[in-house]
Amino acid sequence: MKFDDILRLSFNSLMNRKLRSWLTVLGIVIGVAAVVALISVGEGMQASVAERLGSLGANLITVSPGRMRAFGGFKAFGGFGQEGGAGQAAGNLTENDLRIVKTTLGVLYADGMVSGREEISYAGQTVSASIQGVDTSAWRFMETTGLESGRYLSQGDTYVAVIGNRIANDVFKQAITLNRQITIGGQNFRVVGILKSAGFIGQEDSSIFIPKDIARSILTDLSSNQLSSITVQASDSSNAQDVAAQIEQRLMITRHVTNQTKDFTVTSSQAILETVSSITQTITLFLGGIAGISLLVGGIGIANTMFMSVMERTRLIGVLKALGTTDSEVIKLFLAESAIMGLVGGLIGAFIGFLLSGVISELGLRAAGVGGGMGFGGLTTVVSPQLVLFAIGFSVFVGMVSGLLPARMASKLEPVEALRYE
What is the per-residue DSSP string for 327-374?
HHHHHHHHHHHHHHHHHHHHHHHHHHHHHHHHHHHHHHHHHHHHHGGG
Sequence-distant (6+) residues with CB within 8 A of 41 are: 287, 357, 360, 379, 381
Whole-number Å distance between alpha carbons of 138 and 205: 20
Model confidence at 315: pLDDT above 70: no
So what's the pLDDT on residue 102?
92
Indicate if the alpha-carbon torsion angle 286, 291, 293, 299 is positive or negative: negative
Indicate the average pLDDT of the chain. Answer: 79
| Pairing relationship of beta strands 147-150 and 93-94 according to DSSP bridges | unpaired
- What pLDDT sits at residue 16? 74
Per the CB < 8 A criterion, the answer to whether 112 and 93 are in contact is yes
3-state secondary structure of 266: strand
| Burial class for 141, CB neighbours closer than 10 Å (0-12, 13-18, 19+) | exposed
The per-residue pLDDT for 55 is: 58
Segment among 279-288, 376-385, 391-400 with least mean pLDDT? 376-385
Domain positions in the chain are 3-53+276-419, 60-235
Question: Bigger pLDDT: 150 or 272?
Answer: 150
pLDDT at site 87 = 37
3-state secondary structure 112-156: EEEEEEEEEEECCEEEEEEEEEECCCCHHHHCCCCEEEECCCCCC
Judge whether residue 191 has pLDDT over 90. Answer: yes
**Residues above pLDDT 70, as percent of the chain:** 81
Question: Within 10 A of 184 (CB to CB), how many other CB atoms are there?
Answer: 22
Contact between 101 and 232 under an 8 Å Cβ cutoff? The reply is yes
Taking 80 as the threshold, does the pLDDT of residue 60 lie above it?
yes
Res 70 pLDDT > 60: no
Residue 71: pLDDT band with limits 50, 70, 90: very low
**pLDDT for 330-369, tens place per residue?**
778 778 888 888 888 889 988 998 888 888 877 765 554 4
Task: Kindly indicate the confidence band of residue 53, based on its pLDDT and cuts at 50, 70 and 90.
Answer: low
Average pLDDT over residues 258-271: 83
Give CA–CA dist 83/16, Å, rounded: 69
What pairs with residue 207 in β-bridges?
A: 130
Mean pLDDT of 169-186: 92
User: What does pTM read for this prediction?
Assistant: 0.59
Categorize the per-residue pLDDT at 141 as very low, low, confident or very high, splitting at 50, 70 and 90: confident
More confident residue, 44 or 189: 189
Any idea which of 193-197, 214-218, 357-361, 379-383 has the lowest mean pLDDT?
Answer: 379-383
Is residue 317 scored above 90 in pLDDT?
no
Q: pLDDT per residue over 363-394, tens digit each?
A: 765 554 433 433 334 567 788 888 888 888 88
> CA-CA distance, 231 to 102, in Å (whole number)?
10
How far apart are the two ends of the chain, measured CA to CA in Å?
Answer: 26
Q: Is the pLDDT of residue 421 over 60?
A: no
The average pLDDT across 192-217 equals: 84
Say which amino acid occupies 202.
G
Q: Give 260's pLDDT tier (boundaries 50, 70, 90).
A: confident
Question: Cα separation of 310 and 314, whole Å?
Answer: 6
Give the residue from 82, 311, 325, 113 showing the smallest Cα distance to 213: 113
Query: Roughly what angle, to the nearest 10 degrees, separates helices 385-411 and 269-312?
Result: 30
Tell me what pLDDT residue 57 has: 60
Confidence of residue 50 (pLDDT cuts 50, 70, 90): low
